Amino acid sequence: MASDATTRRPLDGRRILLGITGSIAAYKAAVLCRLLKTAGADVRVVMTPLAKQFITPLTMATLSKNPILVEFFDPENGAWNSHVALGEWADCYLIAPATANTLAKMATGVADNLLLTTYLSARCPVVVAPAMDLDMYAHEATQQNLRTLAARGVRIVEPEEGELASGLQGKGRMAEPDRIAAFVGGLLDEKKKTLAGKRLIVTAGATIEAIDPVRFITNHSTGKMGCALARRAAMRGADVTLVCANMTVEPPPFVTVVKAESAEDMFNAVTSRAPKMDVIIKAAAVADYRPKTVAEEKIKKHDGGMSIELERTQDILAYLGAHKSAGQFLCGFAMETENLIENARGKLERKNLDMIAANSLRTKGAGFAGDTNVVTLLTKDETEELPMLSKDETADRILTKINTLRKG
């Protein structure tokens, strides 16, 4: 007979309240509910009245195996649906999809339906998965509401980019159900709080080195990998400081964000905080060279060529490796176009790193801008090739490896 350890599902015994609002993305709630149930959760569903126009209560009742709650009173028998009892029952209140309207009401404390009054009564972690058109999502009012909710402890599963119901392309599409389910699973699985009480620095993005007030030298890094590492480390209970240069993505919630535009800025931000850190992960793409002189005025074009003299920037990883505290773990990244393992191992040894994550710009699914990565993890004694994974999954594998090595 299989043991409990082998048969236990990730969300066994967990109680999840799924809130559905009036969005075309409500159809995804059916898949999300099924995923949560398959993972072992007891799921109850509360819907706004408008949500019923996008997905039927019968569908959700069939999938959740529980009656659907919409109104404060059951119109059939007058039974009271207590928002207080719902808030006390749930281990997690997941609102997916969360419309701009619902997010605005949550941020301002409006409680004009059962879903919203339950939010105000919830004692459990609250997770929202926004879904709306790109202009609505980008609007400062919506962004301010999200910042307000994040500051109050609401977890936000960022929407994805792609084709929207309007036919436009952009950010605003609700995250896919498997991503949301994984987020909730990670939030509720206390066994995954492997970094509780630990202090981490993660760096992300591309530094900028000025040529003149208009032009600069940079690279193609978007910050996605670094943000994934910061997000997943925070979900594991770590106290995370994200030192970020130029990024195309928003920093995750629940981390301390420090801005650092240039290589010098990042050197100062990281090295000043490093002595107090248990783990340092350098995922940023930092310039190796910068203009020796920065023009005070815009450089005017003229006939003929132009040369810019460059000088080396300070090597942050080398400095950290030379000044590493006892018990401190230092992980670097190496993006290569040739001789991946040889070059990465050389960097590992030269800079006194504990581990390096190497990836090749020539490998499909790796590199900048995409949502996947293909990395090889190298230590002094091991080489582990990971398959193509999402950047969040890659981050999890890196953090698991770090935790294993630190315990060893």
The position carrying tokens 């919409």 is 70
The position carrying tokens 């059962």 is 114
> Per the residue annotation, which of 66, 81, 101, 219 is the catalytic one?
219
Cβ contacts of 62 within 8 Å, gap of 6 or more:
none
Identify the CA nearest to 379 among candidates 340, 407, 347: 347
Identify the CA nearest to 99 among candidates 59, 54, 67: 54
Phi/psi at 189 (5° precision)? -85, 95
Torsion region of 68: left, alpha or beta (phi above 0 gives left; psi -120 to 50 gives alpha): beta
The position carrying tokens 């202009």 is 135
Q: Which amino acid does the sequence have at 407?
A: K
In this structure, the strands spanning 256-259 and 289-291 are: unpaired
DSSP string, 56-103: -HHHHHHHHTS-EE-SSB-TTT--B--HHHHHHH-SEEEEEEE-HHHH
Q: Which amino acid does the sequence have at 312?
A: R
SS3 291: strand
Q: 97 preceded by cis ω (within 30°)?
A: yes
Cβ contacts of 379 within 8 Å, gap of 6 or more:
348, 354, 355, 405
SS3 sequence of 150-217 = HHCCCEECCCEEEECCCCCEEEEECCCHHHHHHHHHHHHCHHHCCCCCCEEEEEECECCEECCCCCEE
Cβ contacts of 65 within 8 Å, gap of 6 or more:
37, 43
SS3 370: coil
Q: Is residue 66 annotated as a catalytic residue, yes or no?
A: no
Q: Which amino acid does the sequence have at 320?
A: L
Q: Which residues are catalytic?
A: 219
